[in-house]
Structure 1
């Protein structure tokens, strides 16, 4: 049985994100994506017309997942356990979904991200999460801790590759640090 359309789109997205991270968004081409997938360029065009279309489709998925976290958090009281819940949900998204790949892409392609609407999509969600993590009336240090908690989670896979331990151990260490940051002022 041939692969489902969704599976093909996901394969294209995954290969494209890998190439964008390896070579940079500007240098990666649709031809290279097609070659890595062992498909024709026409087959790739059936799913996505441009590199930006591919990136936008991934960003939409990640934005929707982050929107779910924001919606959940807005229904909760602004207490320590809610902030911990936000951090745990973000950590889970990073470990299980494409959030890690998008954050890696953003980190390695900052110039391209400034020129693409996809960058603003994710930035808006991150700012909403930062706001939800803030302690009402918190000082500048508390606000910075909230931002650093999210940043710790999102960049931990990129910045800890040379540290001892498995991917899971490094992810757990990042989660522990992020939880410490959001609860330090309680």
Structure 2
């Protein structure tokens, strides 16, 4: 009996991300992905027709998690505690579900600009930032909110040549993000 379809899809996504990290998105072929999986190209095509389909599927999953987080944030009272919890939840999501994907986006910025999913991700991040400080907030608060979110992302890459874990990166990024959020002047959206 074969693997359930979802398991195969997840294996393809994981292997594709590995190869994209090793060789780059543009230099990785579907044939190489199939070979690493020990399947035929036809078997791979059953799940994904193109490399873009693989990336879109990965980002669709990430976008759904961001949508859930944004919906949660919109349903909460506009307090400092809510903003801090939003940042904590974003960090947890980023570092448990998406570090390889964020590394892909960072290392393939040109590709991300060309894919529609890149614009979708940008819109979700903007919505998240606006939950932390809306457009009526002082510009300094808006910038601190953006820095909090982007700081968590940057912490994934800043210490690449350090011998530290993703958890140490997460803790460092979260500490800085919390400082940014806590130093904002307003607590209401």
Q: For this structure pair, what is the TM-score category when the shorter chain's length is used for normalisation?
A: over 0.9
User: Is the 2:95–2:166 contact (alpha carbons within 8 Å) kept by the matching residues of 1?
Assistant: no
CA pair 164-41 structure 1, distance change in 2 beyond 3 A: closer
CA distance in 1, matches of 2:160, 2:3: 33
CA pair 25-165 structure 1, distance change in 2 beyond 3 A: closer
2:169 maps to 170
| Correspondence 1:17 to 2:29 | no
User: Is the 1:25–1:109 contact (alpha carbons within 8 Å) kept by the matching residues of 2?
Assistant: yes
The Cα offsets for residues 43-81 of structure 1, whole Å up to 9 and x where unpaired, read as 111110111111111111000000000000000111111
User: Is the 1:103–1:155 contact (alpha carbons within 8 Å) kept by the matching residues of 2?
Assistant: no
2:83 maps to 83
5 Å matches for 1:22-171?
22-97=22-97, 99-134=98-133, 137-171=136-170
**After TM superposition, what 4+ stretches of structure 1 lie above 6 angstroms from structure 2?**
none
Shift of 1:179: 1.0
CA distance in 1, matches of 2:151, 2:136: 23
Moved more, 78-87 or 21-30: 21-30
CA distance in 2, matches of 1:110, 1:62: 17
Runs of at least 5 residues in structure 2 that lack an aligned partner in the other structure: none
Moved more, 29-38 or 62-71: 29-38
- Number of aligned residues: 185
| SS at 2:85 equivalent | helix
User: Is the 1:104–1:155 contact (alpha carbons within 8 Å) kept by the matching residues of 2?
Assistant: no
TM-score by length of 1: 0.92
Runs of at least 5 residues in structure 1 that lack an aligned partner in the other structure: none
